[in-house]
Structure 1
């Protein structure tokens, strides 16, 4: 009885937050809806939401075309040996509590960030110090993507008074055009215009972010006008929203790939021929045309065209071929039993596939893959869980297969992401699991030392190794769908998903 009461209360709270929500001053408040919860003010865990809402800023920012632009730093210099980097700091920046931004305050913030899990941990720091209001970083060895790492949300800069004595963030005080006014994890974050911002002060006074897991609920909020911007729409809602007089729908390819993540040490999955057989059984074109409804989005490699250095120019893409799939599996000792399920040494080829509903198309794609692999004789049990179940299963070893949407542009240079993926055989939360390649390790190491001219050939080599070995199997390239209320003017979209760019928008008069 108590359990049912708690469930009802929680459902009522979520309904109030997301369906019955109204901004107090709607005339100058922009409401954003998205699928992902946040749980803290810890930038290593939830910094993405504070970066997107323009509360916290980093030394550099990624531009929509992928180039890096100075933000709190004004430039960068690197020594010929690649071991010393110097970052002059802006002199006209205040934190939200009025404290002045200095090189020392940046070092204080970065030092705390280095103690947390995240991308900074892979940088071979020797020491970091200040000199004439410049941050100087000395490295133990060259690390080419340092500037890209410093643009990441986990490296955003907070005022020293944001931290308690144990280094926990207790009051998130950044330098952005908006400052946090209401932080109510896991569903609500309100921010208010920061009048002392060092750049152009925003025209929109308040911005509210609300989490809503159900895609249909978010679509209803868009249609009713309760939300101005809704991110991550499900394909089924697109036609309905496009027909609404008060809405526009923005669709744009982003450097995110929907892929199958394998436990490559699993006895059924521990050779590349089996993974190739599974890949050949997937009908990517059907998924692209009929599920995500973006023709041409099928992915036969991990890196989308927007990451041009890493994207392979295939002459012939490996289309679906069940006959070749069956032959590859027969060579591995698999044969169909009386139930038309593959069997080897008395074991059925049965696996559990975990995915999450935060990205609504993933559950539908999972069901399609389940049916397609059943044609081959593989029995897939689909489990829809929280997104946190993927890294949890990775760490405890229970994960067999997962369908995820992975952003290879989280750091503008994928080299940093791949270095994190390959730092151990176990892999990374959203990258490969229980797999390594000496050839890939060597290629990535050489990229760290390469000049600009040598970078692309090595990136192509790394991409080809991953395409051949298939520790991860790409399915489709991701297209972000956003509904925009027509009262919002000058909508800006960040394909790298780092910034909602609300400070550049305004309302129609």
Structure 2
């Protein structure tokens, strides 16, 4: 079975060395001139980061990829996609064949021109490796080939309605450079050896607006502007960007105060955002991102394998306290799809905090008369300290039901490792999730289709053939209205069996040095304009501007 995973052996090695976590990274100019480093966007984000387009899929991975590589198409602010590497595309009447015309003036960071064979190689490599965002394409793309240097044809197994939307996650790598760095002493991928994966952990083969200057896998990525970028550069565009794993609140707050950090991560404590909002030239920018906060329930491990037990848990959550006291400005979740995402079912009824109803459901559980089964474990992400407050709130409520909740704090890297098997996945896990493309099918496929079990995106281990079939049918429906109705039906079915407790829809917050940085979300909010970004694209650095003289 295909699984969306990180390279587990590397992850284990990092964990053993104590390199994965939320400790502060040491500041460094990393070999760049001090003057140049004034034109930089420094960001913090959860770690680890794998920016190989055939491997990474987390928030930090995605931010790195969109700045180092070019996607075939580019997301628009209204949720659609537009030309990028591909200038146009046509689809056959049966919805099975897409023909893309690509630009002939794009250079890779090596100086070589991007051609159709690179697009073909990139898709074949992604499908073969089967990690990262490959889950979007592995059961969809049947064949891909180049008709000439500027024409690529993709044949699908069956019609896939949102196919163009998924291509914002398909990044182009340089065939010649990756081939040069394949380790043929390994046989993981047959004649392709390791397919260049080891080399691409810290080296890029991209054509994007920035190229890799330095990558310390356990700490940070430093990118430098690629002067020959095909779309050119505007005045005051950043010369560098840096993503760091130093997300601990003290380090972030200190760096913002000292103007050593331009944009924070989205997982800081509310108190930190409030403090940083008081800094001169700093604004806290908040916007809906299509992300929701989930308490994922392991449906294959007793007692959370029982639907009545899971419903009892859902009724034991005080959602109002979460929304009003822990995550103010957030939005009530109603089902698996965030309300900003097209295809959301607005007719769903949310669970409410009601301990009496929780007791009723618990009494129906097959474990109701077994005290030994009244202990469950929950893991919260160490990089998101506010989650501990939610965990303790639920723990207190469950005590009134006779359920003991054992709460564990773990770095995200450890949670990824735990998700690899059903046995190591806890009964409950707090995970934030954003759709890979802006349609309900993206959430439903990634979160609940059996192809994603064994990954951090689906720690429920649902493996429900009926839901699998419903998702596959919806995604193969070309007509938009028909597809959306099928999405509505799937959401009703999922809410009925409660594999997840939906805590809230995330309003993404990031502190930004708006006194000397132009950042598109901040400017759009000031103008009162609507916008949506697929995960990561709000931090597309080429679209930002830095004014060092205003520091």
Deviation, 1:419, is 3.1
**Is the aligned partner of 1:182 residue 2:199?**
no
**Is the aligned partner of 1:140 residue 2:181?**
no
Give the 5 Å matches for 1:212-227.
212-227=246-261
2:340 corresponds in structure 1 to 306
Do the aligned partners of 1:284 and 1:299 also contact (CA within 8 Å) in 2? no
2:65 equivalent among 51, 56, 59: 51
Deviation, 1:474, is 0.6
2:277 equivalent among 227, 238, 242: 242
Q: State the SS of the aligned residue for 1:180.
A: strand
TM-score normalised by structure 2 residue count: 0.82
Q: State the SS of the aligned residue for 2:27.
A: helix
Do the aligned partners of 2:22 and 2:383 also contact (CA within 8 Å) in 1? no
- Separation of aligned partners in 1, 2:452 and 2:70: 33
1:24 corresponds in structure 2 to 34
Q: Please list the CA deviations of residues 240-276 of structure 1 after superposition, one character each: whole Å capped at 9, or x if unmatched.
A: 1111122111011221111111111222122222211
Do the aligned partners of 1:35 and 1:359 also contact (CA within 8 Å) in 2? no
Do the aligned partners of 2:335 and 2:350 also contact (CA within 8 Å) in 1? no
Query: Aligned pair in 2 of structure 1 residues 488, 495: CA closer, same or farther (>3 Å)?
Result: farther
2:290 corresponds in structure 1 to 255
- Separation of aligned partners in 2, 1:33 and 1:157: 25
Give the 5 Å matches for 1:324-403.
324-332=357-365, 344-396=369-421, 397-403=423-429
CA RMSD, Structure 1 to Structure 2 (Å): 3.0
- Separation of aligned partners in 2, 1:461 and 1:418: 11
2:47 corresponds in structure 1 to 36
**Is the aligned partner of 1:206 residue 2:221?**
no
Give the 5 Å matches for 1:77-88.
77-88=90-101
Q: Please list the CA deviations of residues 282-321 of structure 1 after superposition, one character each: whole Å capped at 9, or x if unmatched.
A: 00110111111225x232322111113123234x543211
Question: 7-16 or 414-423, which moves further after superposition?
Answer: 7-16
- Separation of aligned partners in 2, 1:236 and 1:19: 29
**Is the aligned partner of 1:319 residue 2:352?**
yes
- Separation of aligned partners in 2, 1:321 and 1:111: 51
Residue ranges of structure 1 left out of the alignment (5+ in a row): 1-5, 336-343
Runs of 4+ in 1 over 6 A off after TM superposition: 6-13, 18-23
Do the aligned partners of 1:181 and 1:191 also contact (CA within 8 Å) in 2? yes
Deviation, 1:158, is 1.4
- Separation of aligned partners in 2, 1:256 and 1:224: 30
- Separation of aligned partners in 2, 1:484 and 1:201: 22
Do the aligned partners of 2:71 and 2:168 also contact (CA within 8 Å) in 1? yes
Do the aligned partners of 1:38 and 1:49 also contact (CA within 8 Å) in 2? no
Question: 475-484 or 410-419, which moves further after superposition?
Answer: 410-419
Do the aligned partners of 2:63 and 2:540 also contact (CA within 8 Å) in 1? no
Do the aligned partners of 1:17 and 1:210 also contact (CA within 8 Å) in 2? no
Deviation, 1:381, is 0.8
2:430 corresponds in structure 1 to 404
Question: 278-287 or 201-210, which moves further after superposition?
Answer: 201-210
2:73 equivalent among 35, 39, 60: 60
Question: 122-131 or 486-495, which moves further after superposition?
Answer: 486-495
Query: Aligned pair in 2 of structure 1 residues 66, 236: CA closer, same or farther (>3 Å)?
Result: same
- Separation of aligned partners in 2, 1:105 and 1:21: 32
Query: Aligned pair in 2 of structure 1 residues 15, 415: CA closer, same or farther (>3 Å)?
Result: closer
Do the aligned partners of 2:85 and 2:103 also contact (CA within 8 Å) in 1? yes
**Is the aligned partner of 1:496 residue 2:510?**
no
Deviation, 1:351, is 0.8
Deviation, 1:418, is 3.0
2:472 corresponds in structure 1 to 445
Do the aligned partners of 2:70 and 2:206 also contact (CA within 8 Å) in 1? yes
Q: Number of matched residues?
A: 491
Do the aligned partners of 1:280 and 1:318 also contact (CA within 8 Å) in 2? yes
TM-score normalised by structure 1 residue count: 0.88
Deviation, 1:231, is 1.9
Deviation, 1:280, is 0.8
Do the aligned partners of 2:75 and 2:534 also contact (CA within 8 Å) in 1? yes
- Separation of aligned partners in 2, 1:62 and 1:253: 16
Deviation, 1:21, is 13
- Separation of aligned partners in 1, 2:98 and 2:353: 48
Question: 365-374 or 175-184, which moves further after superposition?
Answer: 365-374
**Is the aligned partner of 1:433 residue 2:472?**
no
- Separation of aligned partners in 2, 1:57 and 1:404: 32
